[in-house]
Structure 1
Amino acid sequence: MSLDLHTTMRTFATGICVVTTFTEEEGHRRHDAVAVRSFTSVSLDPPLVSLTVRRDCDVLETLLATKVWAVSILDVAGIDLAQALDADQEARARALLTCTASPGARTGALVLDAPGWLECALHDRYDTGDHTVLIGEVLATGDRHRRPPLVFVNGTLRSLSEA
């Protein structure tokens, strides 16, 4: 039997989050973001979460240098943003300009107008396979439930509504 992990994992529905961070360049802040499907709570005490980022993703270098980020959990209104963040840095920057967002009080990373959000600081990291797992200490949280969540399943972004 051959392994086809990609095909099998496509059947597992996951939420979609936007992870934002920034760099300081000549006195001004340049925000960047990436959409992730691998995000989970690791521990409530201490409050820790994990996210997984491809090693070839250029946002990873910024995350590791800044050591802070915000995670915004998307609802169905975020489908266009999630798709736009799968592009080069310039396109991602343009996509962020279309968002309602504000710098988080604890990290300065952009917190989007989303159903749920967290601000995190790097607690640990693990390079494994073609990804890096980042463990973040949760510094702040918030929620604003309005619309059904956005999920990724069978290779497509979809709305999750109650049956």
Structure 2
Amino acid sequence: MDQASTPFPSIDRKDFRAALGLFPTGVAVVTADHVEGGGRIGMTITSFNSVSLDPPLVLFSIDKKALSLPALAKAQMYSINVLGEQHEHISARFATAKGDKWGATEVETHEGLPFTLAHSLVAFQCAPHAEYDGGDHLIFVGRVLRIHRREFGAPLVFFSGRYAALQQPAVSAPI
């Protein structure tokens, strides 16, 4: 039998999600100005990674059912703010679809560039480069225009459906 005509086995959605959860990810918040109607948009993401050094490109993906997706797709620029382990409360706030995300959130503005979260470990200010269909998600590729490295510390990590801490390696005595 020809391998091309053999259907692939069905993957259970819950099993697939649980298996993906075994890959630890950093946590970030993507932020942008809302082009229509003013205001700001922001949402927690765990699907952030580098794409290219030359040109400097990064990507993240957003569920197609996300309420902020249409506004983010129209954004002329956005920022990706990498959270530190002390920012679990910020991650939780921006992971909700509704509610006041901005009342207790300190931001920094940058002339001509998108605003950033004031206390993130690092923020990447980006211009849209490309978008791709990714099944039930939309994949955004952004060209990094500026990097703001602010704080040092351990990143906020998500693993197996919950926040986790990185185990710091033991420092051995010099030989």
- TM-score bracket relative to the smaller structure: 0.7 to 0.9
Aligned-residue Cα RMSD (Å) equals: 1.8
Q: What residue in structure 2 maps to residue 143 of structure 1?
A: 149
Q: What residue in structure 2 maps to residue 7 of structure 1?
A: 18
Query: Does the CA contact (< 8 Å) of 1:68 and 1:109 recur in 2?
Result: no
Alpha-carbon distance, 1:24 to partner: 4.6
Q: TM-score, normalised by structure 2?
A: 0.82
Alpha-carbon distance, 1:126 to partner: 0.4
List, as ranges, runs of 4+ consecutive aligned residues in structure 1 with deviation greater than 6 Å.
Answer: none
For structure 1, the residue ranges without an aligned partner over 5 or more in a row are: none
How many residues matched?
Answer: 158
Q: What residue in structure 2 maps to residue 70 of structure 1?
A: 79
Alpha-carbon distance, 1:60 to partner: 1.5
Query: Does the CA contact (< 8 Å) of 2:62 and 2:138 recur in 1?
Result: yes
SS at match of 2:113: coil
For structure 2, the residue ranges without an aligned partner over 5 or more in a row are: 1-8, 170-175
Q: Which amino acid aligns with 1:57?
A: A
> Equivalent residues in 2 for 1:14-163 (5 A)?
14-24=25-35, 29-89=38-98, 91=99, 94-163=100-169
Larger radius of gyration: 2
Query: Does the CA contact (< 8 Å) of 2:119 and 2:151 recur in 1?
Result: no
Identity %: 26
Q: Which amino acid aligns with 1:40?
A: N
Q: Which amino acid aligns with 2:64?
A: R
